[in-house]
Structure formats: structure tokens, C-alpha cells
Amino acid sequence: MDIDERIRLITGVGEEIVTKPELKTLLEEKPNPIAYDGFEPSGLAHLPFGVFRPLLLKDLLKAGVRFKIWLADWFAWINNKMGGDLEKIKATGKYFIEVWKAAGVPSDKVEYLFASDAMDSIEYWSRVVRIAKVTTVARATRALTIMGRKEGEMSEVAQYFYPVMQVSDIFHLEADITQLGMDQRRANMLAREVGPKLGLWKPVVVSHHMLINLEGSIEPEGLDDIGRDLHMIETKMSKSKPSSSIFIHDSEDEIRTKIMRAYCPPKEVKGNPLIDYAKHLIFRSFDTMKVERKPKFGGDLEFRNYKELEKSYISGDLHPLDLKNAMILYIDKMVKPLRDHFEKKKSAREMLELVRSYQVTR
């Protein structure tokens, strides 16, 4: 595969690339660069984790990228996830790995690592301190949005360790590419700032799209950069907000109920979650999208790409109810293999039951 095709695959994953020229140079110099993403183990797997992320990963692996998954158990502990119980957090991390296996992520091409395994390393903590020494308090404060919390929700000094630890992770994992969501952009940009100051490299930042929740996302006017970050975090599909999320364990009936209640204004694509899922899930997984309609309503529609669907929806030819009915079928089709895996495999079912028994905290 030539450089241009590899760049096409990687830029297809990234909603923002910092920077494309650096990405090209990296691919010219390294046939198999290392990328990483980190996850706080908490709660049950939802569409962004169990379906969307594996879809993006497949394109990255196809482009020759070596991928490391950082199961950020200590970060979840700092962020008071799962009641701040580290053992529950670790058990949830093992469940996360099982989800990815069920989604078809090849274990021989992706390396899973727990953050807690690095916490006894003097080198790790030395790097954390060195990063903190070249980071101002104001800069660290701006980066705290990566935790998904507002400034008023911060009550522990430990929470200030979070962004500098996340930056340290990048260099600990020897990551050439940080491939996380747009909500983690501030930590990745901080890594680009401090890396050269410490005689380290400047990672390429490939930030992927954040699927919005079922309630929709209408951004208020006049927000500053931090306000936009917080709005994105508040309106993304989150495991901690189950009523506005679809989980990989949801039945077809549960998926139907949630989608039928979803925000989906006619002729409006901006902030519309079902349009968002069609663009980022359906057209990544299927060659076409078929919408079945009775002849009296114009008959079936079939879209070859997202642009065709968007045009039809804006014009009013595609009605919200017809879109919802189609999305129920497609999302259930994508979720079903994962749902079946956890229902039929005993060890996976036991993992699921254990995680379900935990009190999930935000």
C-alpha cells in the first residue's frame, strides 16, 4: 500500500489531524508507527466503544499502524469512576478487552496494557514530574476538560495529576500518533508543546469524531474554546448517561424504544444524532443504506453514500420516522454479534454480570 492510500485511511479516521504534513513525514520514515488510545474502565460498553472504535481501528491497522490500547485504571480511580474502587475498575478493564475481541479487533495486532502496571516505574513518575515542571497551572487547568468534568466539579489535588499523567503516557508508550477522541485534544496538544522541551518528540494528533447522544446536540452561541469542549463532552454518547445511550447489550426492542424517542427534527442534520450515526456508523459498515417505505409514501429509498442521505433528509423527501425505522434495523445488525457473544459464551456472560452488579458512578 502506497503512502497516499495510507494517509487516506488515517485521515478518514481523524476529524482533525495535527498536522497532515507531519503525518506524511512520519509514514515515510516509519512503515509501522505506533498509535495509542486510552480508556477509563467504567460501565457497560456503548456504541462509541463497542462499534465505532473498532471500525476506526480496522482502517488504522490496514494503514500499517501498530496500536496500543491503554486501559487507564489509575485514571478512572483518580476520576472516581466505579465508586473509586480500583479492583472493580480492573475487572471492568478485562470486560472491555472481551468487548473488543467480540467486535473482531485482532489480538495479534493490538496490544492491551493496564496503566497500573506502569505505576511502580520510577522512570514513569520522573517523566510526570518533568512534564509538570514545564506546564503552568493555567495550562493544566485548561486541560482538565479531558476528564469530562467542569471546574466546579474538581475537588481533589489528584485530579491535577490527570493531564500530566496522560501526557506522560504518550511518551511511556512510545506513541508516534495519539489517536483519541476530540474530547481529549487538549492533553494531546499539551504533549506536542512539552515534548520538544524535554528532548522528546512531538506526536501527531489524530482526533476522531465523538458520537452525539440520543438527546441531540445544539451548540449555544457565543461559547469560548473551553465552553465548546464542555458542550461536546456533555452531549456525546456517554456510558454514564444510559437513557441517552445505546449499549451493545441492548435488545432489539430496547434499541427501538431509544431510537423512537431520539431527537430527530425534520430537515435538520446539525445536532441530529440519527444523521450522525448514519454518517459515522452505517456508511462505514455498509456499501449502501436502504430505507423501506410503503408505496403510498414513495416506496423504498437506497443511498449509496452519506451525501445522498443528507440531501434527501434536508429536502424533506426522507421523513424522520422512516429514518428511525431504518436506523433500528442497521444498529441492531451491528450490535447483534456482540450481544450474542456475551449471551452465548459463559466466561463473557460472567464478566458482563459482574460489571452490571457494580454501582456505576460518573
Instruction: Map out the domains of the chain as residue ranges.
Output: 3-207, 226-357
85-115 pLDDT, tens digit per residue, is: 899 999 999 999 999 999 999 988 899 999 9
19-57 pLDDT, tens digit per residue, is: 999 999 999 999 999 999 999 998 899 999 999 999 999
d(CA 194, CA 213): 34
* Burial category of 199 from C-beta neighbours within 10 Å (exposed 0-12, middle 13-18, buried 19 and up): exposed
Distances (CA, A) of 116 to 58, 174, 234, 335: 27, 17, 28, 31
What pLDDT, on a 0 to 100 scale, did the predictor assign at position 147? Answer: 57
Give the side-chain half-sphere CA count within 13 A for 163: 30
d(CA 165, CA 169): 6
d(CA 266, CA 195): 47
Q: Which pTM does this prediction carry?
A: 0.89
184-217 pLDDT, tens digit per residue, is: 998 999 999 999 999 999 999 999 999 999 999 8
3-207 homologous superfamily: HUPs (3.40.50.620)
Task: Quote the percentage of the chain above a pLDDT of 90.
Answer: 73
What pLDDT, on a 0 to 100 scale, did the predictor assign at position 176? Answer: 98
User: What is the CATH code for 226-357?
Assistant: 1.10.240.10
In our burial notation (b when 16+ CB lie closer than 10 A, e otherwise), range 205-221 reads bbbbbbbbbbbbbeeee
Grid cell for residue 64: 500499517
Q: Are 345 and 351 in contact (CB under 8 A)?
A: no
In this prediction, residue 233 has a pLDDT band, given cuts at 50, 70 and 90, of confident
In this prediction, residue 154 has a pLDDT band, given cuts at 50, 70 and 90, of low
